Structure 1
Amino acid sequence: MNNDKTDVVIIGAGLAGITTALELLDSGFAITLVDGSSGQALGGQANEAFGGMLLINTPEQSRNRIQDSPELLLEDWLTAARFGDGDRWGRAWASLYAEKNRSMIYDWLHDRGIRFVPSVQWVERGLYGDGNRRPRYHIAWGCGRGVVQTLIRQLEQHPSRDRLTILRNHRVQTLTQDAGGVTGCRGQTEDGKPFEITADNTVVCTGGINGNLEKVREHWDACYGPAPENLLAGSSPDADGALHDQVDAIGGQVVNLHWMWNYAAGVRHPQPQFEHHGLSLIPPRSALWMDCYGRRIGPMPLVTGFDTHDLCKQIGHLPNQYSWQVMNRRIAVRELAVSGTDSNPDFRDGKLLKVVWHALRGGNPALMDWLIAECPDVVVADTPEQLAQAMAGVDGTVPVDTAGMIADLQAWDDQLACSSRLANDDQIRRLQHLHQWGPDKLRTCNLQPILDPKAGPLIAIREQLISRKSMGGIRTDLESRVLDASDQPIPGLYAAGEAAGFGGGGISGIRSLEGTFLSNCILNGRRAAQSISGRL
């Protein structure tokens, strides 16, 4: 068995692990960074992320004349989270985030050369103002991959690079202990060779459980309906929760695994990299969201951008647990987007002029053309009758109510034809609210009828629930130390990022304000490193 000794072993080379390693190298520690993913790429799920982060009191907020404060952010956070009496560590991490996100996350990234798109997006507003009361969603240039790869380059070029050992294709299977606490880890390489690493401190940064659909279904919250058989995977199978089980086995708390951040608008990936691989759409707000039979969902219509948690609850309780969005090409081109780095090449490549150009000219037709050509869940037709027939063919077993769907589409278009003082539809009110914020106005049609022959052809997209992020996990204190059943730190053991529920075993409670995932990997990782180095 290959046996190495180091000051700190970090298990998982995603954004949390990279951040922890950078901070510890700055303090002169010897580090071994272990990653079990196949291939040579480091960075984990961050490589695929869009790159949005929830931040306040930034220059971007100031330029957009957004007045915000830690107190207001924390109020919004606690309203969305709905913490219970046993969630004191999640609440404590939320308070820390509200107070320190500018200095611990934004300023740290800025000092390392990472910049943000000038406009601030307004997401997760809540259905009734019970979400973000201010725009706070900052998109990093380069998306998630740009962020994590910039930090990896700085690791590789660090003045103390000789104190860093990176072990790729090494999957940790167990944590090792003695009477004094955790002493490191053991595992196997990709070719089956055993290894052991002994360390004064061990940091678990292995992500969540959401790449393991069996485990996701095991912990599925009944608020979303029964665990779906047709659930799509939005996380790599490497995020399998195996280290959660190991932490539990040695007496660490693993909590709130039923808290998950799923999305309601998943489609089958045109080029799947693993079984049940899905894409998470940012769906059009001007489309009609319909059930599997083609009937409009209501009485409260579904509109994205307000309450993702509620969207998932609604879809999870529908017959067959999937939905349709029906629109025309004009709506699709202007409003539809796909979450992720490679689905947003202009943001990924830092092309500001192209971002502005696509916004001003009414969207990105190339993305829609790709989905139409490649995605099996997207159908196109010239008439609603033909569209209904194409929709029925996607599943092959569920009939579409053609007459009812046409009636719903006509009723919607009739509402749009009314003057604004006569229209009485909650979706119209939400669209009008979206038009009050500039970045949303650029991406939202101006009350566009769906059956408008000049805006065709018609498009329908079948959407399923897609599993994305674990919001529960290993319970940690504010130093990212793993806590035992008595809420005492287990000596030598830390956790950061998604493995820790992004802080405390669930910093977001039941509902995220969005943009709290990448940013908390940085906050958790930095706190772990500062605790280990005695700088807190």
Structure 2
Amino acid sequence: MTNEYQCDAVIVGGGVAGITAAIELLDANQQVILLDRDTEANFGGLAKESFGGMFMVNTPEQRRTGIKDSPELALHDWLHFAEFDPEDKWPRAWAECYVHESLEMIYHWLKDRGVRFFPVVHWVERGLYTPGNSVPRFHMVWGTGHGLITALIDHLISHPNVQNLRCLFEHRVDDVLLKGGRVVGCVGLDETHCQQFQILADNTVVATGGINGCLEKVRQHWDSEWQSAPETILNGSHHYSDGRLHEAVSHHGARVTHLDRQWNYAAGVHHPRPKRDNHGLSLVPCPSALWVNALGERIGPEPMVTGFDTRRLVTQVCQQPGQFSWQILNKKIAIKELAVSGSEFNDAIKNKDLLAFLKMAVMGNESLVDDLTRHCSDFVMADSLEELVEKINQQNQGFSMDLSTLNDELQTYDQMIDRGKTYLNDDQLRRIAQLRHYRGNRLRTCKYQKILDPKAGPLIAIREFILSRKSLGGLQTNLKSQVLNHQGEVIPGLYAAGEASGFGGGGIHGKRTLEGTFLGGCILTARKSAQAIVNG
């Protein structure tokens, strides 16, 4: 027996894109069915686990702090970072749309639905050899991604037209339905009751995420610039972002582009309390730590420092023996600088506890350091360098780190600091100075802290792997979020939003993202899809 349903619009995926599209369609009094493969307790997808940062242009928060931004400047930065191919017509069009419409389509829309932002705008992806963000644009949601999703779900379930909404959880969509060349719904399996279902709908929105939750597909589409895929890749994506619908609709003629463009991170560690296979955490790497390879050699020639070019960090790690790395630091650095990207390990922000946040900003986060050093298998701690290297080699993936090599690297770095800031001729120290120059980084970045300083111990080493996170490619869409075929023609009745569409056009970011454009891209593309459905 097959369960059959009918509605105006069916949305496949209950993440931030799917929820946004549902809200917009309810605003227009549409009959909506929202499908999600996960349980109701996990409604909200990966966004619920995220840090909640959003890239937006010329906001009140920027203007209040004297940041002069504009869509023209943002587009200039975006195009440099993206390095679009000549044929990337739709990705570039979406990039222009994003920078010109982020204030109205994302910022004000969220503010009207109870979402608030931290008053200090963060400055990430500044660029290394390729110019990145000229000014700070990373707006952190007060409440993290958990607070963002909570606010949107609250708005959804209290909507005046909520009687028009039906949410079906633990429903896996396997394919779309076509009739006369038009997509007229979808079919799949109710995994709770092991029962087939069919939904007939005038319009279908694919908002299922990307491919990065399936490490087999991540390896299959690995970027050639990163050499071969590492033996160990951790999963920092949603476990149901497996590309199932990408494959299904591509069999019906939809064009999927740029799946080799992925936004992965260089500082992944094993989750101390994993919820899925190969579950990883994305650390915010400590700028004052020395980043070395499995042999104890400092990775270079330019030192690795977070906040400038994430793609470059991944590229450098993939060139190292074993394609993983170590960060060497001490407890003083860790307490001040160590952070985890996501809502789970940022309770003060997640719980909107201002006093706790201010205390953490000033005093550091010792509880996080204690938790990870005790429970994460990738952290080792020791009172001497000899003991630290011995512990490193016990879990060095078959490699042997040389004590004298690592000691030389650390001594050279520390002696540079001893000479005083007038003589700091080390690129990592110059970048630390640049980071500290902006007040949003000053409190969380050490001021030239030596690593072998006996007063700052014990020593800590963090083993870090590539962490799979986001797909930058996906289903190609026009500016109405309509899915296109290989001839560039619209597939009637089929839309894609969020990561499933490469956040717009099958690859709005090109090769790199300016960060914070994922959540924002989900909201923008979802709103565009709903508006196109309503307006016909």
Alpha-carbon distance in 1 for matches of 2:456, 2:396: 27
Structure 2 residue 382 is the aligned partner of structure 1 residue 366: no
Structure 2 residue 407 is the aligned partner of structure 1 residue 397: no
- In structure 1, the residue matched to 2:148 is 147
Alpha-carbon distance in 2 for matches of 1:377, 1:77: 35
Alpha-carbon distance in 1 for matches of 2:531, 2:435: 41
Native 8 Å contact 2:294 2:396 kept in 1: no
- In structure 1, the residue matched to 2:137 is 136
Alignment-mate amino acid for residue 141 of structure 2: A
Native 8 Å contact 2:327 2:464 kept in 1: yes
Alignment-mate amino acid for residue 277 of structure 1: H
Mapping for residues 354-503 of structure 1, pairs under 5 Å: 354-361=356-363, 363-395=364-396, 397-503=398-504
Alpha-carbon distance in 1 for matches of 2:227, 2:373: 30
Shifted more, 24-33 versus 126-135: the winner is 126-135
Alignment-mate amino acid for residue 312 of structure 1: V
- In structure 1, the residue matched to 2:510 is 509
Native 8 Å contact 1:247 1:254 kept in 2: no
Q: Secondary structure, in 3 states, of the residue corresponding to 2:446?
A: coil
After superposing on structure 2, the runs of 4+ consecutive aligned residues of structure 1 that deviate more than 2 Å are 38-41
Alpha-carbon distance in 2 for matches of 1:486, 1:102: 33
Alpha-carbon distance in 2 for matches of 1:423, 1:40: 52
Native 8 Å contact 1:16 1:205 kept in 2: yes
User: Please, what TM-score do these two structures have when normalized by structure 2?
Assistant: 0.98
Q: How far 1:38 sits from its partner (Å)?
A: 3.6
Alpha-carbon distance in 2 for matches of 1:254, 1:371: 39
Alpha-carbon distance in 1 for matches of 2:229, 2:199: 38
Q: How far 1:351 sits from its partner (Å)?
A: 1.5
Alpha-carbon distance in 1 for matches of 2:236, 2:26: 32
Alpha-carbon distance in 1 for matches of 2:130, 2:242: 35
- In structure 1, the residue matched to 2:114 is 113
- In structure 1, the residue matched to 2:66 is 65
- In structure 2, the residue matched to 1:528 is 529
Q: Deviations over 1:146-199 (max 9, x none)?
A: 111211111111111111111111100110001141010000111310000000
In structure 1, the gaps of 5 or more residues are none
CA RMSD, Structure 1 to Structure 2 (Å): 1.0
Alpha-carbon distance in 1 for matches of 2:312, 2:383: 33
Q: How far 1:353 sits from its partner (Å)?
A: 2.3
Native 8 Å contact 1:376 1:394 kept in 2: no
Q: Deviations over 1:426-476 (max 9, x none)?
A: 101101111110011111000000011111100000000000000000000
Native 8 Å contact 1:40 1:168 kept in 2: no
Alpha-carbon distance in 1 for matches of 2:494, 2:109: 25
In structure 2, the gaps of 5 or more residues are none
Q: Deviations over 1:35-79 (max 9, x none)?
A: 111454311111110000011211111121100000000000000
Mapping for residues 182-261 of structure 1, pairs under 5 Å: 182-190=183-191, 191-261=193-263
Alpha-carbon distance in 1 for matches of 2:138, 2:292: 28
Q: Secondary structure, in 3 states, of the residue corresponding to 2:517?
A: coil
Shifted more, 464-473 versus 415-424: the winner is 415-424
Q: Secondary structure, in 3 states, of the residue corresponding to 2:231?
A: coil
Alpha-carbon distance in 2 for matches of 1:59, 1:39: 35
Q: Secondary structure, in 3 states, of the residue corresponding to 1:435?
A: helix
Q: Secondary structure, in 3 states, of the residue corresponding to 1:343?
A: coil
Alpha-carbon distance in 2 for matches of 1:342, 1:423: 37
Alignment-mate amino acid for residue 306 of structure 1: F
Q: Secondary structure, in 3 states, of the residue corresponding to 1:22?
A: helix
Alignment-mate amino acid for residue 266 of structure 1: G
Which of residues 262, 266, 275 is equivalent to 1:264? 266
Alpha-carbon distance in 1 for matches of 2:207, 2:498: 6
Alignment coverage as a number of residue pairs? 534
Q: How far 1:128 sits from its partner (Å)?
A: 3.6
Alpha-carbon distance in 2 for matches of 1:31, 1:237: 25
Native 8 Å contact 2:16 2:522 kept in 1: yes
